[in-house]
Amino acid sequence: MTLPTYLTYDFGGQSEFCLCFGERHAARTIIIIPPVFDEMNRTRRMLVEVMRALAGRGVCSLLPDLPGFNESLADISKQTVSTWRRALEEALVQLNPTHIVSLRGGTLIDDVADMPILRLAPVKGASLLKTMLRSRLVADKEAGINSTIDSLMASAKFGFLELSGYNLSNEMLLSLQDAAPSTSYQFQEIALADIDGTPLWLRAEPQDDARMSAAFADKLDVWSSTCAK
Amino acid sequence: MPLTTQETIRAILTDVLGLSVDQVAAMDDHTELFGALPELDSMAVAGLLTEMEDRLGIIIDDDDVDGDMFATLGSLVAFAHTKVSG
């Protein structure tokens, strides 16, 4: 079995973790910008299997932690979409990938470098935010608390709002509300049907999908070999 | 050819709840959803609503949402129809 190596990149005075599979000096190094919030957890296993398969084909891949997620010690309540993008820019400079792959919330910050970009299931920040707000409404209702989306959003002005276990500042809520995948660089988009996939990020529990991981790795191998840096 | 509202709702149930295509294909208008499907808990409702908005191009007011809407496949499709036709 191909084993990972554990890299780091520095951002904001901290070391952020970055999972790596494959030879570091391979001709192709794909950095995967993961989904954000819970969707990151729900897709991680599937993505790691993609990385393992890519390593078997001689393609190196990187999966960085964005500040506030996974192993990151950064305070999520101090992040915004812009700090994630700046962190990613740092990761690119320090880790030297040749290609970018982004999924879901990762597509909100993939406009960081003029290199080949491939997107899967782009989503607007406003949609991610609304789903989390609705989950909070349901949880509040079950706890006998009467809240509305407006009252929740307003509460962040005096501290932060807890959504899906993440403490989000007013600046974060506003930045999510406005964030959309950029079209300033050329990118390719693939559909779930192209990789025999299902939207694991929508599920209540993390799952994996070996067939999807294998097909996704195939697709990335072909794509990255046909669009050189 | 674009999917009908009914087909879109079935696809969303498959995707969000992780139900098999066969299980969803075997459903009819009277198939009970909320309370009958263990996968459909109140948190999954949040994901369903956002997917319905995105895929059907509609806006759902959270005040319109109640348990009756998710009672059966028929009631969910009927709700979506009223939003799609506007």
Q: B67-79 pLDDT, tens per residue? A: 789 999 999 999 9
What is the pTM assigned to this prediction? 0.92
Q: Is A167 left (phi over 0), alpha (psi -120 to 50) or beta?
A: beta
Q: Name the average pLDDT for chain A.
A: 94
CB spacing of B42 vs A130 below 8 angstroms? no
pLDDT at A216 over 70: yes
Per-residue confidence (pLDDT) for residue B44, from 0 to 100: 87
List of chain A residues whose C-beta atoms are within 8 Å of the C-beta of residue B44: 204
List of chain B residues whose C-beta atoms are within 8 Å of the C-beta of residue A137: 46, 62
How many angstroms separate the CA atoms of A69 and A47, rounded?
15
* Of A5, A79, A6, A9, residue with least CA distance to A37: A79
Q: Name the average pLDDT for chain B.
A: 90
Min Cα separation A138/chain B (Å): 7
CB spacing of B62 vs A204 below 8 angstroms? no
Task: Please state which of the ranges A94-98, A155-159, A168-172 shows the lowest mean pLDDT.
Answer: A155-159
Question: Cα angle vertex A61, ends A57, A64, to 5°?
Answer: 165
pLDDT at A1 over 80: no
List of chain B residues whose C-beta atoms are within 8 Å of the C-beta of residue A165: none
DSSP A199-228: -GGGSSS----HHHHHHHHHHHHHHHHHS-
Q: For residue range A175-211, what is the model confidence (pLDDT) as tens digits?
A: 999 999 998 888 999 998 899 898 999 887 788 899 9
Min Cα separation A104/chain B (Å): 13
Q: Is A199 left (phi over 0), alpha (psi -120 to 50) or beta?
A: beta
How many angstroms separate the CA atoms of A132 and A130, rounded?
5
What phi and psi, each to the nearest 5 degrees, are found at residue A148?
A: -130, 165
* Of A18, A184, A4, residue with least CA distance to A91: A18
Percentage above 70 pLDDT, chain A: 99
**For chain A, what are the domain ranges?**
5-123+181-226, 125-180
Task: Please state which of the ranges A70-74, A97-101, A103-107, B64-68 shows the lowest mean pLDDT.
Answer: B64-68
pLDDT at A227 over 60: yes
pLDDT band at A126 (very low <50, low <70, confident <90, very high): very high
CB spacing of B46 vs A131 below 8 angstroms? yes
Q: Residue range B3-19: average pLDDT?
A: 92
When CB atoms are compared, the residue of A135, A142, A199 closest to B46 is A135
pLDDT at A228 over 70: no
List of chain B residues whose C-beta atoms are within 8 Å of the C-beta of residue A132: 46
Query: 């969303």: which residue's tokens?
Result: B12
pLDDT at A101 over 70: yes
H helix or E strand, kind and range, residue A128: helix A125-142
Mutate to test the interface with A, among B21, B24, B50 (most CBs of A within 10 A): B50
Helices (H), A148-209: 149-155, 170-178
How many angstroms separate the CA atoms of A131 and A136, rounded?
9
Q: Residue range A7-16: average pLDDT?
A: 96
Q: For residue range A30-77, what is the model confidence (pLDDT) as tens digits?
A: 999 999 999 999 999 999 999 999 999 999 999 999 999 999 999 999
pLDDT at A229 over 60: no
CATH number of A5-123+181-226: 3.40.50.1820
CB spacing of B47 vs A138 below 8 angstroms? no
Per-residue confidence (pLDDT) for residue B80, from 0 to 100: 95
pLDDT band at B42 (very low <50, low <70, confident <90, very high): confident
When CB atoms are compared, the residue of B43, B51, B54 closest to A204 is B43
CB spacing of B46 vs A127 below 8 angstroms? no
